[in-house]
């Protein structure tokens, strides 16, 4: 890796960059960019949500979001990675590992009991990555699409 990896917080002005990263993550579904931008702005203002961009030189190559929530059944704060995406050209360069390390440090700093994440059952390479990074498959997550008006 010849270019130095750096990390920055995000700003609302970077919503187009975030949109492109989320589209890479959600290849199966088009998203409304304005709705994403509005949600991003709301989340930036939420003290329990943190974001980080990964850069190689002047190119954004990764993104992570971290949410903290007090879980009553733990009687503790739990941190959850909501999104983690590394662009294909930057995979196997340590970007994902560095973003996870950032999330883990943030969670520790905020006194979270554990850090959890969900990933699609189709993302077998991601499963291997998370296991290699010390994560364990301990839960099942059930989802149900809801129609709204």
Phi, then psi, of 109 in degrees rounded to 5 = -60, -35
Taking the C-alpha atoms of residue 45 and residue 24, their distance in angstroms, rounded to an integer, is: 24
Question: What whole-number percentage of the chain has pLDDT above 90?
Answer: 81
At residue 88, the 3 state secondary structure works out as helix
Whether the pLDDT of residue 26 is over 90: the answer is: no
What does the pLDDT read at residue 2?
A: 65
Q: Is 30 exposed, middle or buried (0-12, 13-18, 19+ CB in 10 A)?
A: exposed
pLDDT digits (tens, 9 = 90+) for 86-141: 999 999 999 999 999 999 999 999 999 999 999 988 899 999 999 999 999 999 88
Summarised one tens digit per residue, pLDDT across range 37-70 is 999 999 999 999 999 999 999 999 999 999 999 9
């Amino acid at each position: 890796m010849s270019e130095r990896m750096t990390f920055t917080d995000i700003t609302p002005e970077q919503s187009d960059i975030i949109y492109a990263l989320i589209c890479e993550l959600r290849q199966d579904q088009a998203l409304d960019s304005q709705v994403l931008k509005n949600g991003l702005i709301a989340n930036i203002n939420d003290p329990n949500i943190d974001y980080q961009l990964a850069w190689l030189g002047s190119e954004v190559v990764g993104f992570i979001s971290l949410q903290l929530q007090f879980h009553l059944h733990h009687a503790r704060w739990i941190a959850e990675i909501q999104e983690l995406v590394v662009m294909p050209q930057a995979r196997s360069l340590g970007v994902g590992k560095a973003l996870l390390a950032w999330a883990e440090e943030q969670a520790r700093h905020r006194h979270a009991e554990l850090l959890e994440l969900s990933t699609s059952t189709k993302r077998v390479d991601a499963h291997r990555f998370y296991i290699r990074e010390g994560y364990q498959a301990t839960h099942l997550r059930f989802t149900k699409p809801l129609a709204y008006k």
